[in-house]
A and B are shown apart, each in its own frame.
Chain A
Amino acid sequence: MSILKVFLIIFFLFNLNTVKADNQEKINQITKNLRCLVCQGQSVYDSDSEFANSLKTLVKQRLDEGLSENQIYDYLKIKYGEWILYDPELNKNTLILWLLPILIFLTGGAIIFKKFFLNIRK
């Protein structure tokens, strides 16, 4: 019986550990995608400013409350605007940004295809 107890305790300890680690990983993932607005060129994850530290605490609190990653982004977008996210969303202003690589890729592909096709026919 005592062996079972010890086993159970160890099992729970390990379990708790993974829960905590998961959460920290999630916090890191989210804060890496947040721009530290008071420091230039740093993410919240990288920065140790007061602002960044508060944001880290806030992200942790929100995760503990059960909010998803996207809900946290939406919340911060309302507070600080879209600039706080490193990953820009697809909208009217960022349309060119998102479509340009695809357009260039297609044009390049068309050029290559045309050359290849013409060479074979010759």
Chain B
Amino acid sequence: MKKKLLPFLVILIFGIIFIIFYKGLEDTNIYTPNLNVKKNIPTFNSKDFYSDISLKSEDFFEPDKIYLLNIWSSWCVPCRQEHPLLMMLAQNDKINIIGLNYKDNKKNAVNFLQELGNPYKKIFIDLDGTKAIEWGAYGVPESFLIYNNKIIKKYIGPLNQNLINEMKQLIK
């Protein structure tokens, strides 16, 4: 009886391991971040893009207002693509678009805005990329929809017309 139990146990254990690993194969090995987390917005200190005055994020973001924080840079090609959409969205009074200028050269950034227009109500500067990390961002471009000091939705990569429509549905 005992002699039969051991091989049975070994087979059982390897069977379980096989099933676990086999199930694991179905999972994607590409990192997929959670886009719908309702986190509080981070607090950070930064400088204003035009005036270079130090700004505190908690003094700036007001509750019961809708914000879209957009991380952008003049060297980022997809930012150039999504910029007309931001310009369009800026005409909507309900939403305040805030910029976070990521690792950029100020002169290039100013040229970028002069060329394509400035949809931002306010621009924060992030010279070393650490403010973007406070937001849990991966790179540029990235956008965060904010309401009541909470991140409602995160958009990784350039915005497109579908996402803008979705956003308009959300802020109705």
Contact = CB atoms under 8 A, between A and B. Distances in A.
B138 A37 contact: yes
Contacts of A57: 128-130
Interface residues of A, number: 23
Interface in B122-172: 128-130, 132-136, 138-140
Contact of A54 (B13, B17, B128): B128
Given A53-B129, A103-B13, A37 B31 contact: yes
Interface residues of B, number: 22
A7 interface: no
Interface of B: 6, 9-10, 13, 17, 20, 30-31, 33-34, 103, 128-130, 132-136, 138-140
Closest 4 CB pairs of A and B: A54-B129, A79-B136, A58-B130, A57-B128
A58 B138 contact: no
A100 B17 CA distance: 9
Given A50-B139, A57-B128, A81-B34, A107 B133 contact: no
A51 B135 CA distance: 13
Nearest to B20: A96
A104 interface: yes
B20 A55 contact: no
Contacts of A104: 13
B31 A107 contact: no
